[in-house]
C-alpha cells in the first residue's frame, strides 16, 4: 500500500521556506510536485507567479497569477501580483482592472496604489496616476519613490510648481534621489535646466511640505 501524498499545505510551506532562503529552484520543484499530486491550488499558483516575476518572466507570472485568480478571484495580493506582471507586459487594461480591484478591496494597501499609479502612468493616464500617488503618500508619507514619481507626473502635466513641491518632498525623504530629480527636471518638455546644482538643492529643501 503506497503512502498518502504529502499534503499540499506542507509542500507549499516548505517551498516558501526555500524561497525565503534564496533557493528558488528547489521551491519550483516543490510547486511542481504539488501540482502533480494535487488539484490546482491558488496559493501554489501564486507562489509560481512570484517566482516567475523574480526570474524576470512577467508573461509567465501573469499566466500563473490569472490561474490563481480563477480559483480565488478576490485575493488582493494576487490581484497586485497579476497587475504588476501585466503592467510589465504592457497589458494596460488587464493590469488596471486587477489593480483597481485590489485597491478597492484593500484601500489602505500603499503598494497596490503605487503599482496602480505606475500602470496609469505607463498608460498615459497622468491625472489618474497623480491621484494614486497622492493616495500612496497619504497612506505612507515616507515613500520617497511615490513623491519622486508624483513630481514627474505633475511636471508632465505642466504643473511645474506642484512638481517642484513633490520633488522637494522626495529630496527631503531621500537626499540620494537628487540626481534623478535633476535629470527629470532637465528631461521633460516642461522642465528646466538648473546650471547651479547647489541652487537646486536649496530650492528643493525650501519647498513647502
The pLDDT tens digits for 70-98 are 999 999 999 999 999 999 998 989 999 99
Distance CA 19, CA 167 (A): 36
Question: Residue 25: what are its φ and ψ, rounded to 5°?
Answer: -60, -45
Residue 117 DSSP code: H
pLDDT score of 85: 96
Within the chain, which residues score under 50 in pLDDT? Answer: none
- Which of 34, 69, 33 has the alpha carbon at shortest distance from 49? 69
**Are the C-beta atoms of residues 42 and 68 closer than 8 Å to each other?**
yes
Cβ contacts of 117 within 8 Å, gap of 6 or more = 128, 129, 130, 132, 133, 136, 146, 149, 153
The pLDDT value given to residue 187: 76
CA pair distance 83, 78, nearest whole angstrom: 8
CB 205 within 8 A of CB 171: yes
pTM for this structure? 0.84
Q: How high is the pLDDT of residue 191?
A: 58
Predicted local distance difference test score (pLDDT) of residue 208 = 74
The pLDDT value recorded for residue 120 is: 93
pLDDT of residue 209: 65
| Grid coordinates given for 18 | 526555500
Amino acid at each position: 500500500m503506497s503512502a498518502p501524498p504529502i499534503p499540499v499545505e506542507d509542500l507549499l510551506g516548505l517551498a516558501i521556506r526555500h524561497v525565503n532562503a534564496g533557493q528558488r529552484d528547489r521551491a519550483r520543484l516543490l510547486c511542481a510536485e504539488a501540482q502533480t499530486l494535487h488539484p490546482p491550488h491558488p496559493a501554489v499558483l501564486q507562489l509560481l507567479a512570484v517566482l516567475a516575476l523574480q526570474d524576470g518572466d512577467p508573461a509567465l507570472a501573469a499566466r500563473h497569477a490569472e490561474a490563481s485568480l480563477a480559483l480565488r478571484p478576490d485575493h488582493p495580493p494576487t490581484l497586485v501580483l497579476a497587475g504588476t506582471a501585466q503592467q510589465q507586459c504592457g497589458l494596460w487594461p488587464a493590469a488596471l482592472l486587477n489593480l483597481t480591484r485590489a485597491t478597492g478591496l484593500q484601500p489602505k494597501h500603499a503598494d497596490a496604489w503605487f503599482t496602480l499609479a505606475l500602470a496609469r502612468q505607463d498608460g498615459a493616464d497622468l491625472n489618474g496616476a497623480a491621484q494614486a500617488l497622492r493616495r500612496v503618500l497619504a497612506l505612507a508619507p515616507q515613500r520617497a519613490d511615490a513623491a519622486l514619481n508624483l513630481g514627474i507626473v505633475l511636471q508632465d502635466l505642466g504643473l511645474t510648481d506642484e512638481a517642484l513641491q513633490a520633488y522637494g518632498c522626495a529630496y527631503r525623504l531621500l537626499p540620494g534621489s537628487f540626481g534623478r530629480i535633476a535629470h527629470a527636471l532637465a528631461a521633460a518638455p516642461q522642465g528646466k535646466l538648473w546650471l547651479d546644482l547647489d541652487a537646486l538643492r536649496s530650492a528643493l529643501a525650501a519647498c513647502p511640505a
